[in-house]
Structure 1
Amino acid sequence: MDEWLDQLANTLATTTLREIHSVLKRAIRQAQARDMVLRNVAALVTSPTGTDGRPSKALTRQQAEAVLKAAEVSELHAYVVISLTTGVRTEEARALRWDHVVAWIPSLKTWHPVTEVGFKHRKFAIHVWRADREGGDTKTRKSRRTLELPKLAAQALRQHHTRQAVLKLKAGEAWQDHQLVFCTSVGTPLNASNVRRAFRKITKRAGLGTAWSPRELRHSFVSIMSDQGVPIETIADLVGHAGTSVTEAVYRHQLRPVITKGAHTMNTIFGDSHHG
């Protein structure tokens, strides 16, 4: 096992190696509980240091606008718009179903799936579930957050829905109906690597090169929100974190330092008139 992990260390980041090691230890612990193995050999091994992971970065507002423009001709257009304007995780976007896209019905004062009420409404939202990584992909009300869609995202989804209907007709009997918002030309779930490739084409078209990944749309969302002065508590709620400490740890490079706010506020109140 030592040798195997050392081999992986040549290509994987340290955090990824730790995650693999943790999964191994957990799996063998379960085997121990069932008397299938005598001891947990994974617990005797130390996680090696891997390669330096590529630091995540965020799009500036101007870069984000360029990416949105470049995405207009891509089949990934709505995916990019939703990811950038709501901050959903890439796996949450790929799992999004049409009955998770909801429209606000004022007369009933409630949200209804667009699969029932269509797109001729003014206000839309998406239901997003955070995967419970310990116990599998269980969907509970506690893990759900409902994110209202900006007009740009609602419009992109409306157009995407129309395009998907055309794809469905073309595919005919080959279509596999998983009710997925983002899927292949035959309705099957999108592969993460295919999404990455398509996204790199968009960033290249936007003049930003190909060193970008879809998850950085979420980083960009956090950065843009922070730049606009949105409180970290609100950002944590939007991105589905249980508290601000996770948001601060994961997105420390994207968050505007709140420590400067005191100085800015005092400058506004007292100005320079009290100097000297």
Structure 2
Amino acid sequence: MNRPRRRSAKSKTEARTKLKKLLNDHETSVAVDTEYTVEEAVANWLAYGLAGKDPETVDLYTTLSHTHIVPVLGHRKLCELSVDDVDEWLASKARSLSTRTLQSMHSCLNRSVQRAMVRCKIDRNVVALCTVPTGQPGRPSKAITLAQAEAVLRAVEGDSMHAYVVVSLLTGARTEELRPLTWDHVDLDGRPHADPPVPPHISVWHSVRRSGDTKTRKSRRPLALPHRCVSALRRHRSAQEQQRKDAGAGWQDHNLVFASDVGTALDAANVRRAFRRAIAKADGINPAEWTPRELRHSFVSLLSDHDVPVEEIAKLVGHSSSETTERVYRKQIRPVIQTGALTMDRIFGT
């Protein structure tokens, strides 16, 4: 037996409006659940609507939902949620959050309500009618100067992050490209007697994205290694062999160049913490103000300061066009792109 549907109103006009809506729901056979809350809708979407998503994506949406949606809107009956409610919520959040975060929050709520509508808990999705406001500007990425770069390279000598920092700064590879880099994509000897000669290089073929692909098709690229990178990677490989022996049966062999003490993959937080610890002794550097991805921006800046054409820099960093390189800071298999390595050798020496 269906329970009777009840509504309360403060005026006759409001009562008539709600009665009209009830009659319309009855005539169109939309069995709206009047007790279903926003929190329940969000919980259902998090539990069942994210199947197949990357764990990091699930963690992000869960955090956003539990931090920004449920505490403010969670108690509201979904059938009573209005466009004004959502607009006011977004506007209040826009005073402290970035536009990208606002977009992600809106997406979480929108998908939750859309799922509830498909499940006949509600008859329309008011969230889809709302526009995401402009939030607070995020911190722009920075680039270290040549003097700061020298200080960083001195500071990380002997640190477990030494090879990572050197390779990132002197090749411009993305942090999400270095974390899954395997030794079979590293050639520390090259083929000097080939015609034409092939220098030591890394092949950037993968990223930590769920598909395993690089950010764009043109991001797949071989990068010649400056001498400093070759030396750092040789020492790093020797140190990793010792780690493997120390770990014994506990070592998990994924053939990763940059791995944990037991061979497992590093996540972004691991790298960020280790990077900030490693550069803490560098003169003129506040580690809290820098992130690993800014080594890539520094690579672009250093090459530009030393008169490398922007078109060549775009190839080195895997941008689809030089416009992206200029604004923000090809699937070319042969020949190995050597400009970055040669210039970095000139800047830092061998």
TM range (shorter): 0.7 to 0.9
Unaligned runs of 5+ in 1: 112-121, 252-276
Query: For the residues of structure 1 that align with 2:132 and 2:281, how far apart are their CA atoms?
Result: 40
Mapped contact 1:14–1:49 kept (Cα < 8 A): yes
Tell me which residue corresponds to 1:209.
Answer: 286
- Structure 1 residue 109: Cα displacement: 5.2
Tell me which residue corresponds to 1:218.
Answer: 296
- Structure 1 residue 105: Cα displacement: 2.4
Residue 105 (str. 1) matches residue 191 (str. 2): yes
Mapped contact 1:84–1:218 kept (Cα < 8 A): yes
Q: Pick closer, same or farther for the CA change 1:183–1:131 going to 2, 3 Å.
A: closer
Tell me which residue corresponds to 2:212.
Answer: 137
Please identify, of 170-179 and 142-151, the stretch whose mean Cα deviation from structure 2 is larger.
142-151
Query: For the residues of structure 2 that align with 1:137 and 1:83, how far apart are their CA atoms?
Result: 19
- Structure 1 residue 77: Cα displacement: 0.4
Where do residues 1-276 of structure 1 align in structure 2 (5 Å cutoff)?
Answer: 2=86, 9=94, 12-18=97-103, 20=104, 43-102=128-187, 103-107=189-193, 123-129=199-205, 136-138=211-213, 143-207=219-283, 208-210=285-287, 211-251=289-329
Mapped contact 1:24–1:42 kept (Cα < 8 A): no
Mapped contact 2:176–2:207 kept (Cα < 8 A): no
- Structure 1 residue 124: Cα displacement: 1.1
TM-score between both structures, scaled by the size of structure 1: 0.73
Mapped contact 1:21–1:42 kept (Cα < 8 A): no
Paired residue type of 1:155: S
Mapped contact 2:180–2:206 kept (Cα < 8 A): no
Please identify, of 153-162 and 101-110, the stretch whose mean Cα deviation from structure 2 is larger.
101-110
Tell me which residue corresponds to 2:343.
Answer: none
- Structure 1 residue 209: Cα displacement: 1.3
Q: Pick closer, same or farther for the CA change 1:234–1:204 going to 2, 3 Å.
A: same
Q: Pick closer, same or farther for the CA change 1:125–1:167 going to 2, 3 Å.
A: same
- Deviation track 1:73-109 (CA, whole Å, cap 9, x = no partner) reads 2110000000000001111111111111124224555
Paired residue type of 1:136: S
Query: For the residues of structure 2 that align with 1:42 and 1:171, how far apart are their CA atoms?
Result: 52
1:59 partner SS: coil
Query: For the residues of structure 1 that align with 2:126 and 2:158, how far apart are their CA atoms?
Result: 52
Query: For the residues of structure 1 that align with 2:305 and 2:276, how far apart are their CA atoms?
Result: 25
The runs of at least 4 aligned residues of structure 1 exceeding 6 Å deviation read 25-28, 35-40
1:205 partner SS: coil
Mapped contact 2:180–2:207 kept (Cα < 8 A): no
- Structure 1 residue 41: Cα displacement: 5.8
**Identical-residue share of aligned pairs (%):** 50
1:95 partner SS: coil
1:104 partner SS: coil
- Deviation track 1:125-162 (CA, whole Å, cap 9, x = no partner) reads 011136597x8333697541000000000110111000
Query: For the residues of structure 2 that align with 1:23 and 1:132, how far apart are their CA atoms?
Result: 23
Query: For the residues of structure 1 that align with 2:211 and 2:93, how far apart are their CA atoms?
Result: 25
- Structure 1 residue 16: Cα displacement: 4.1
Q: How many residues are paired up?
A: 237
Unaligned runs of 5+ in 2: 1-68, 70-85, 330-350
The structure where strand makes up a greater share of residues is: 1
Query: For the residues of structure 1 that align with 2:96 and 2:251, how far apart are their CA atoms?
Result: 38
Paired residue type of 1:170: D
- Structure 1 residue 110: Cα displacement: 8.8
- Structure 1 residue 217: Cα displacement: 0.3
Query: For the residues of structure 1 that align with 2:125 and 2:205, how far apart are their CA atoms?
Result: 34
Q: Pick closer, same or farther for the CA change 1:108–1:200 going to 2, 3 Å.
A: same
Paired residue type of 1:209: N
Q: Pick closer, same or farther for the CA change 1:95–1:9 going to 2, 3 Å.
A: farther
TM-score between both structures, scaled by the size of structure 2: 0.59
Query: For the residues of structure 2 that align with 1:73 and 1:47, how far apart are their CA atoms?
Result: 48
Query: For the residues of structure 1 that align with 2:206 and 2:95, how far apart are their CA atoms?
Result: 32
- Deviation track 1:218-245 (CA, whole Å, cap 9, x = no partner) reads 0100000000000000000000001011
Tell me which residue corresponds to 1:115.
Answer: none
